[in-house]
A and B are shown apart, each in its own frame.
Chain A
Amino acid sequence: MNLEAALEEIGKAPTLESLQGLKVQYLGKNGLLTQEMKTLGRLAPEERREKGRVLNEWKEALEKALEAREAWLREQALQERLLQESLDVSLPGYAFPSGGLHITSLILQELVGIFRKQGFSVVEGPEVESEFFNFDAINMPEWHPARDMQDTFWVTFDPGPGFTIRGPFGESVNSLGGAVLRTHTSGMQIRYMIQHTPPFRIVVPGRVFRYEQTDASHEAMFHQLEGLVVGPDITMADLKGAISELARGLFGEEGKARFQPTYFPFVEPGVQFAMWWPERQKWLELGGAGMVHPYLFKAVDDYREQQGLPRAYEGMTGWAFGMGVERLALLRYGIPDIRYFYQNRLSFLRQFRG
């Protein structure tokens, strides 16, 4: 065989397949070089050694050439493929849907998150509420002028299927008075205290309802966040601490809280709180708070006793707060109309992503 010709042939092999053919042709079981190798046995030892050396050199040269050609061919193929496979990556990808939470959920999540960091638990309560929990038990009996502060949606039940308002232990509380769409989340203070032993700290997010004519700043349905901490030595300073932490959580280290006296039947002393919004350099009136009124502790203990539980709230002190959720969002984003929230226009909702 002619080595020069073979090497040239290999160096020109156009495809990997033809290269494989050449490999078989020279180095295969019956390849030309293999044939030559087989003749070695018939030679005299001197000659055999010499020829063997030469043939081995040929073999190495062939193998090297095959390898080099293969590498070259592969590289070529790769380059060709890369050229062919190129995509216009600037085209948009598949439009996978991007979901999200409602703006109210997002704000609530943020508020609740700030309290959870402080060790608060989160619980929820019913929207159709007994007059007892919504009003009477929180020191707002029927004759109390404070009931005028909240225009109430009263509800009745269809006698056919009926409807049951469940108490803290699943018992029906339909007989405790009329039924309302809760006007605030404060009734949950009573429900929670009846069921649990202090000390504890909770927040309660939830929908509330007021019989109001709706306009840009009034909705008949909105959300509140309620907070309640009860223990043997809970103070008004603790309340101020918690509201300050809320302000810092919302507005950063310059956030702070301001307290002014006010009146709610379920707290004494009563507080109206505002938070300092450093970005806009103004106070935001966000809610009411105060020290839990002793009337509530008594109402809770009386209910507990009826249920066969020990009185647990004598000698306890506690604080509670309630704040509007939508209002914070309105102010923060400069939303001009509260009715946007529950019209559920997608072009509104899709702008808020958490």
Chain B
Amino acid sequence: MNWTWFHKWGSPKWFYEMSGRWLPWLAVAAVLLLAVGLVWGLAYAPPEKYQGNSYRIIYIHVPAAFLAQSCYLMMAIAGAVGLIWKMKLADVALQQAAPIGAWMCFIALVTGAIWGKPTWGTWWIWDARLTSMLILLFLYFGIIALGNAISNRDSAAKACAVLALVGAVNIPIIQKSVEWWNTLHQPATFKITGKASMNAEMWLPLLIMVLGFYCFFGAVLLMRMRLEVLRREARARWVKDEVAGLVKAGSK
């Protein structure tokens, strides 16, 4: 196998140049997908048989919950890459993804509570799915706090990577919680095998929203990582040139 693609990620300069090219496409894709998904989900998808229109919250609740979990998995992988190969960019990705993941977890919990009130009659219950998502939010807080608390960058990177890896145990628990425990939460809408449990008019806009959220995450993550690379590599020649160029362009 050819590993040059992997070694390229060791170069912050390569990342900065490539991400500059990807960012506009991701941003445009995110805006388009989210706009189409929002209008379709809110206005055109048919009402649900039992829940009426309150089910439309699914179009933000499920994408945010997916992303909150995927983001954590990505951070665990970045943590492993950082620990094994000492790749600097892995720690940048881990640190910059954490706040986005925490916000997505927040959206999933808040929209879930708002959806729960008319559907279950309560904002919150200490149910397996809800509790494991709350633990995920606290894991995000833990990683953010740990990253800020340790002033030595290498030590902070190591500690955060270990926490990200250990906390990844929670992800399969979230996934399986609706099967392992008795819960109010409905089972998965999408399954990799077998038919989706909704009709196409309902899950197509959901799929578009999920893709939109992922593009949104990609765009915001790249934005945050690019700034962090400039900060961390401030002493490199290419960063000095880049910042000088940006400053000049901004002052015109």
Physical interaction between A and B = no
